[in-house]
Amino acid sequence: MGVLVLNQDFTPLALCHVNRAFLLIFNAKAELVSESKSRVLRSISQSYAYPSVIKLNRYVNLPYRSVILNRHNIFKRDQNKCQYCGQIQDLTLDHLIPRSRGGKSIWTNLVTACLSCNAKKGDKLISETDLILYKKPIKPSFIMFLKNLNHQKQNEWAPFLEPKSHS
């Protein structure tokens, strides 16, 4: 299980293992923001809160973080489902605009497809087939990936991962 790590200003920074989160709290480098209601950490003589969200005590200045374009991350963005039929087996990548027609390997031109749908589409455009694309591919943000990484934690993480509404 991962722990959401927030910067000092409560912006999402990363995920870490529960052991690392506990050490950061224990060494006063972070504070517990949210804990698991169903789990605890135990030593021989004590019980400790099981961290779900922690906040660093010092601000960490990081440059803009983007998600790396690779096969694994495209599958993750597309929730490991064929974007044409919804199948979850025999997955591969499909270029919406085929490379043979000048299509590039970029976020908005790549989707997860099963072997059958990919073969059916071949080097055609979607409009030249009877396939229907479930959703238009987008370049995911780092926050979007954090949201999708650990579904069990989304409720506890939601206040920190949802965009702030401006009143």
Pick the closest to residue 108 from 144, 72, 69 (CA basis). Answer: 69
Burial of 4 from C-beta contacts in 10 A (0-12 / 13-18 / 19+): buried
Report d(CA 110, CA 71) in Å as an integer.
9
What span, in angstroms and rounded, lies between the C-alpha atoms of 148 and 125? 29
Q: Which residue has the tokens 């990081």?
A: 62
Per-residue pLDDT of the chain (167 residues; tens, 9 = 90+): 688 999 999 988 888 899 999 999 999 999 999 998 889 999 999 999 999 999 999 999 987 778 889 999 999 899 999 999 999 999 999 999 999 999 999 999 999 999 999 999 999 999 999 999 999 999 988 777 776 665 555 577 777 776 554 44
Question: pTM for the full model?
Answer: 0.64
* pLDDT number for residue 64: 73
What pLDDT was estimated at residue 151?
54
What are the structural domains of the chain?
A: 2-64+141-161 (no CATH), 71-128 (1.10.30.50)
Element (H, E) at 83: none
| Side-chain half-sphere exposure of 17, counting CA atoms within 13 A | 3
CA distance 158 to 150: 11
pLDDT at 153: 53
Instruction: Give the relative orientation of helices 154-161 and 142-149 as an angle to the nearest 10 degrees.
Output: 170
Find tokens 């997955």 and name the residue. Answer: 91
